[in-house]
A and B are shown apart, each in its own frame.
Chain A
Amino acid sequence: MQKPLPVEVEVVSARRWAKLERSLFARWDEEQRRASEAESQPVRPGSAQRLGRLVAISAVALVALAASVVCFVSWHRAGEAVALDRTSRIATGANGSHLSLQGLTLDVEPESAVVLGSPSEHGMLIVLDRGGIVCEAAPRSAGAPLVIQAGSVQVKVVGTRFSVTRTGEKARVAVEHGVVEVAEGGRVARVGAGQVWPSEAPTVAAPTGTTSAAAGAVEAGVVSDADRKNDANQKNDANQKSDGNQKTPSAGAKQGGGGAAGRPSAYGEAAQARFEAAAALERSDPARAEDLYRGLENGSDSWAQHALFAHGRLEAARGNRAQARQLLERYLARFPKGPNSVDARSVLERLR
């Protein structure tokens, strides 16, 4: 017997093993939960068993037929909508992925991995293994929440648009509208529209962009609009002196002529609307999305930052590597400490 080729196996840190174990058993628990739900169907004893089986089979067939029709119709209506009948795993490579389910749209960012549990009357579980996702959930009943598990952080959703970004065991949640509950280590916090929740982050910058990458660092705990207003008032001067490029969207909106406390200006609202329109068009009409981003990215407010990064990311996703590199390098030159700078560097690194 010959000796094997000298391929060195990578070393796995204790932390990575712990993460692996947690993620594995979370997936296993989800599978078991679904299995026990399936088994909890009543069993008919004795002579009625055969009849019961027949009825059950017929019912299942009817339900399956009805579900197929509903799925077919909704698929046609929603374009890309699909139905999950079992746990699904989505791992993205260089390109992100978009998924549309009933009442839920999910954008999985590049280099991310998520496990989707099948929706049931008890709700739905999504485990974020790595990377980031942007979710938009239709209003749900409190008894059937959408639950996102990202490391040790759990996000419970009733109906909202928000993003979750996982970095190791840390997670950041940015809510655009609606309310989510974030639980970690037994503590529960409600995060409302325009707020971000950091599980562990040292400094301040409160993003509300459409991409999860827009999530910046904030002080531990939830930062409300009012808190941010106060913070922004205190920090705007310092920001302008030290790093005029790094502004939060709310601060940027105020600089744009901010109206009522914490509310963006008319320009800010228009920019936000354009940005959101571009984000929504990324899949269906990427050329138009790029035009919209292009119109925003030359500005000086926070939406310019997001637009420039999103444009670069979109070009990367479309395989236009040279343009993507150019845009992301421009982003980093203009906003070296911007909320998307880490992601911009990582995408650039990949493009190289």
Chain B
Amino acid sequence: MAQSPSRTAFPLKLVRAPDDAEFVRRCVNGERAALRELFDRERVRLHALLFRIVGPSPHLDDLLQEAFLEVFRSIASFRGESSLRTWIDRCTVRVAYAFFARKARVPLLESLSDAPNSDPDAEEHALLREATRRLYMELDRLEPRQRLAFTLFAIEGRSMREVAETMSSTQVAARVRVWRARQTLESRARKDPLLADFLAKPGAPSEPEKDDG
């Protein structure tokens, strides 16, 4: 069964500074056990994050590997100014951004997974999958930063402060990107009732919240 998009589905916490410091030290020393532990602790969360940003894509596994390699390479530069989790997310978002930039230069043919579903609500699931497919088709046409901000805010469910922190931008910039992405998507959804329904689902963000803090 698919995992819930809610962040509460991933109770892994890497925010306790003393543990982080010791754990980071072990990773920086290249301890294989620590790197494997990092992979085990973060893989599901990072996969979900990348999936929500990129959508169903045959490149997802490659991107996940790239994200972890980026983390392994750069962990020595982690200074503990944010949580390790936020820092890892930032690395992942960088990898996703690079992917979108690459993709813009060399368009890749992607197949969207359509796994058979034995669920009794298969029809509803099929509709949901189709709507998701259309959403990501439209997201593919957005400017990468707008897409990242929108997916982090509207699909990953992060606060504007978290979006800004993850994208290393100001909250104003993040809010503007989400707003522009939403405007573009809504204008395209006017011609696509399925996408319009999907975007209008109860709870879907209608307006970016005000700046936190």
Contacts and interface: CB of A to CB of B under 8 A. Distances in A.
Interface of A: 1-12, 16-17, 19-21, 23-25, 27-28, 31-32, 89, 91, 93-94, 111, 113, 129, 350
Given A8-B128, A27-B65, A32-B30, A2 B203 contact: yes
A143 B115 CA distance: 47
Contacts of A350: 109, 111
24 contacts: A3-B202, A3-B203, A4-B156, A4-B203, A5-B204, A6-B128, A6-B198, A6-B201, A8-B3, A8-B125, A9-B51, A9-B52, A10-B2, A17-B43, A20-B64, A20-B65, A24-B68, A27-B69, A28-B35, A89-B66, A93-B109, A94-B109, A113-B62, A350-B111
Interface of B: 1-3, 5-6, 30, 32, 35-36, 39, 43-44, 47-48, 51-52, 55-56, 58-62, 64-66, 68-69, 72-73, 106-111, 113, 115, 125, 128-129, 132, 135, 154-157, 159, 198-199, 201-206, 209
B148 to A, nearest CB: 15
Given A2-B204, A17-B43, A10 B72 contact: no
B74 to A, nearest CB: 12
Given A10-B51, A12-B47, A5 B65 contact: no
Contacts of B58: 111
Nearest to B102: A91
Contacts of A17: 43
A9 B72 CA distance: 25
Contacts of A12: 44, 47
Given A2-B205, A2-B206, A11-B3, A91 B61 contact: no
B62 A21 contact: no
Nearest to A32: B30
Q: Which 7 A-B residue pairs are closest in the complex by CB-CB distance? A: A3-B203, A4-B157, A8-B2, A93-B108, A94-B109, A2-B205, A9-B48
Contacts of A32: 30
B6 A4 contact: yes
A91 B155 contact: no
B69 to A, nearest CB: 6
Nearest to A16: B61
Contact of A11 (B2, B43, B129): B2
B62 A9 contact: no
Contacts of B204: 2-5
A3 B43 CA distance: 23
B56 A10 contact: yes
Contacts of B64: 20, 24
Contact of A24 (B65, B73, B115, B128): B65
B3 A9 contact: yes
Nearest to B57: A10
Given A1-B159, A6-B201, A9-B52, A20 B61 contact: yes
A7 B66 CA distance: 23
Nearest to A12: B47
A28 B51 contact: no
Residue from the set A2, A27, A89 with the largest chain B CB neighbour count within 10 Å: A2
A7 B5 contact: yes
B113 A10 contact: yes
Nearest to A4: B157
Contacts of A9: 2-3, 5, 47-48, 51-52
Contacts of B30: 32
Nearest to A351: B109
Nearest to B136: A7
B201 A5 contact: yes
Contacts of A21: 36, 39, 43
A28 B72 contact: yes
Contacts of A20: 43, 61, 64-65
B132 A7 contact: yes
B62 A7 contact: no
A54 B126 CA distance: 66
B45 to A, nearest CB: 10
A2 B202 CA distance: 9
Contact of A91 (B62, B198, B206): B62
Contacts of B206: 2
Nearest to A21: B39
A291 B206 CA distance: 58
Given A4-B156, A9-B51, A23 B201 contact: no
B206 to A, nearest CB: 7
A5 B69 contact: no
B62 A5 contact: no
Given A10-B2, A11-B2, 4 more contacts: A5-B198, A9-B51, A91-B108, A94-B108
Nearest to B39: A21
Given A7-B155, A16-B61, A1 B1 contact: no
B155 A5 contact: yes
Contacts of A113: 62
